[in-house]
Amino acid sequence: MPANPTFLDRLKNGSPALAAWCGLPDPAISALLAREAFDAIVLDLQHGAIDFTPAMNAVPLIAAAGKPAVVRISVGDFAAASRCLDAGASGVIAPMINTLEDARRFASFMKFPPLGERSWGPHGALTVSGLQGGDYFKAANGLSVAFAMVETREALGLVDDILAIPGIDGIFIGPSDLSIALSQGRHMDPTSREVEEALDHALSRARAAGKIAAVYAASGERAAELVRRGFHLVSIASDVSLIRTGAQMALKAARA
Ligand code: 3PY
Ligand code: MG
């Protein structure tokens, strides 16, 4: 690995990365989790209660802890992907990528020409990266990791073609939505047999394409299992569930 590895180098060549998953609206929460031993912090703008401005305020706080910030944008809000990068995010996760057109549009907002069509304005990113404009421009496409979410039957069917798009660095699998899709709306079970098979398939296709395979895990135990299977990046639980689990454990101990 290079002496100053980018987030992409780290994911490709380092040990599997574990990310915290944050949706609570105060940037202090993601800043606090960034000081724990997580390798990255995800800010969830799709389902989290955190809005765009506090999420962008969290990015430099996460960077100050030496950790990459990764933002999950809302469905189809590809223009927000460029703004997250402008603020200094190291990666963006785009949910519900169901067509090649979705994937191409997402990639185009993530990468500067000639790869994509990102426009210039990296105000926070210059501070976070410590680079001057011209140097940032040269490095930027390698500094911003584009994750296309695979969480529907359509995306699973197109996984090789999504992975083949030059500006897409990897896939991020959403096992809950995938379970709803694969069961045709019959259940939500992120560890169902069909989901497990789909996870193995998508993981092996990403590895064959030389791209990143990332996935959401509801618990530390599930994250350990997914790391063992070979995922490069696994996000764990959420800030909400970490608070609830901590509270339940403390109360259980106090009442024992
Ligand atoms: C899913 O499991 O569907 C996700 O999007 C992960 O949060
Ligand atoms: Mg989902």
Spatial contact of 39 and 8, defined as CB atoms under 8 Å apart: no
In a domain, 215, yes or no: yes
Structural domain total, the chain: 1
In a domain, 172, yes or no: yes
Spatial contact of 58 and 43, defined as CB atoms under 8 Å apart: yes
Q: Is the CB of residue 175 below 6 angstroms from any atom belonging to ligand 1?
A: yes
How is 102-124 classified by DSSP, letter by letter? HHHHHHHHHS-TTT--PPS--HH
Query: What is the structure's pLDDT at 114?
Result: 97
Distance 95 CA to ligand 2 centre (A): 7
In a domain, 57, yes or no: yes
210 Cβ neighbours under 8 A, 6+ residues apart? none
Q: Which of these, 179, 166, 150, 170, lies nearest to 104 by C-alpha position?
A: 166
The mean predicted confidence, pLDDT, of the chain is 97
Q: Is the CB of residue 127 below 6 angstroms from any atom belonging to ligand 1?
A: no
Query: What is the structure's pLDDT at 21?
Result: 98
Query: What is the structure's pLDDT at 96?
Result: 98
In a domain, 1, yes or no: no
Beta bridge partners of 94: 148
Query: What is the structure's pLDDT at 5?
Result: 85
In a domain, 2, yes or no: no
- Strands (DSSP E) contained in the chain are 17-22, 40-44, 69-72, 91-94, 145-150, 170-173, 212-217, 233-236
Coil, strand, or helix at residue 69?
strand
pLDDT by residue for the chain (256 residues), tens only, comes to: 666 789 999 999 999 999 999 999 999 999 999 999 999 999 999 999 999 999 999 999 999 999 999 999 999 999 999 999 999 999 999 999 999 999 999 999 999 999 999 999 999 999 999 999 999 999 999 999 999 999 999 999 999 999 999 999 999 999 999 999 999 999 999 999 999 999 999 999 999 999 999 999 999 999 999 999 999 999 998 999 999 999 999 999 999 9
Spatial separation of the C-alpha atoms in residues 38 and 146, rounded to whole Å: 20
Among this protein's residues, is 187 annotated catalytic? no
Query: What is the structure's pLDDT at 237?
Result: 87
Query: Which range of residues forms the domain containing residue 202?
Result: 7-255
Which atom of ligand 1 is the closest one to the Cα of 151? 3
The domain that contains 48 carries what CATH number?
Answer: 3.20.20.60
Query: What is the structure's pLDDT at 220?
Result: 96
Spatial separation of the C-alpha atoms in residues 153 and 184, rounded to whole Å: 9
In a domain, 77, yes or no: yes
Q: Is the CB of residue 177 below 6 angstroms from any atom belonging to ligand 1?
A: yes
- Nearest residue (by CA) to ligand 1, atom 6, is 174
Spatial separation of the C-alpha atoms in residues 232 and 89, rounded to whole Å: 19
Q: What b/e sequence results for 95-107 when a residue is b if at least 16 CB atoms lie within 10 Å of its CB, and e otherwise? A: bbbbeeebbbbbb
Query: What is the structure's pLDDT at 4?
Result: 78
Angstrom distances, CA of residue 115 to CA of 104, 154, 211: 10, 25, 16
